[in-house]
Amino acid sequence: MNDDAAGPAERISRMGIADEAELPPKVAKLYEGLRKKGGVPNWIKALAVHPDVMNRFVGYYETLFNSSTGKLPMLEREIVATVVSNINGCTYCTFYHTGGMATHLGSSERAQRIAHNYREVDLSERQRAMCDFAVKVTEQPDLMQDTDFDAVRAVGLDDKEIFELLEIAAFFSFSNRLATPLAILPDAALFDYQRA
């Protein structure tokens, strides 16, 4: 098959990608580390056009998705990230976190079903309540009531876990609003749905 048959290469971002020859040392080091782990994802390439934005974003993201920090299990963090990203129409983040969810679930089918409509999946009471909370934070933050917090307390979340749930839902509304307007192209590896 020739290149014409495969079609033209799709752009990675509406704002282009960073010129690797001009990366600041901190970003160049990040690229080097990511290459050793399998490659630089498109979201990094897209945000590296503005290194200060990328550094702020990566720092916050790595804090939320570091398995040695936080109180919520990684599966729950991935579920919330996926549900919020799907609501916001963020293709990149939905694919990315569906893959993370699939890894923790051991099932890409179940992860995809949750990503498309968590309400049609047999989730635990805790997971469903967390998703409902995250959806309301995303769609109607001005309508949040004490009862919304009581609902997640009732399924076992303590106040630190609730704050983390709120933070993850809020962060993904922010990150989706960076990635979606840029139309960041999902990496081919994201279609495998399960990552190491």
**7 phi and psi, to 5 degrees?**
90, 165
Residues 82 and 164 in one domain: yes
The band of 194, judged by pLDDT with boundaries at 50, 70 and 90, is low
Mean pLDDT of the chain: 93
The band of 13, judged by pLDDT with boundaries at 50, 70 and 90, is very high
Residues 97 and 168 in one domain: yes
Residues 104 and 181 in one domain: yes
Using the predicted structure, report yes or no on whether residue 4 has a pLDDT greater than 60: no
Residues 125 and 166 in one domain: yes
How many domains are there within the chain? 2
pLDDT in tens, 139-187: 999 999 999 999 999 999 999 999 999 999 999 999 999 999 999 999 9
Residues 108 and 88 in one domain: yes
**49 phi and psi, to 5 degrees?**
-60, -30
- 4 inside domain: no
Residues 56 and 89 in one domain: no
Residues 125 and 179 in one domain: yes
pLDDT in tens, 89-136: 999 999 999 999 999 999 999 999 999 999 999 999 999 999 999 999
Domain, as residue range, for 144: 74-192
Residues 99 and 33 in one domain: no
Q: Find the CATH number of the domain harbouring 56.
A: 1.20.5
Residues 84 and 170 in one domain: yes
The band of 192, judged by pLDDT with boundaries at 50, 70 and 90, is confident
- 30 inside domain: yes
- 12 inside domain: no
pLDDT of residue 191: 79
- 1 inside domain: no
Q: Could you tell me the pTM of the whole model?
A: 0.91
Residues 106 and 164 in one domain: yes
pLDDT in tens, 25-83: 999 999 999 999 999 999 999 999 999 999 999 999 999 999 999 999 999 999 999 99
Residues 57 and 148 in one domain: no
Q: Find the CATH number of the domain harbouring 102.
A: 1.20.1290.10
- 79 inside domain: yes
Residues 82 and 109 in one domain: yes
Helix (H, G, I), strand (E, B) or coil at 176: helix
- 172 inside domain: yes
DSSP states along 30-86: HHHHHHHTT---HHHHHHTTSHHHHHHHHHHHHHHT-TTSSSS-HHHHHHHHHHHHH
Contacts of 70 (CB under 8 A, 6+ apart): 64, 77, 164
| Rounded distance between C-alpha atoms, residue 63 and residue 28, angstroms | 20
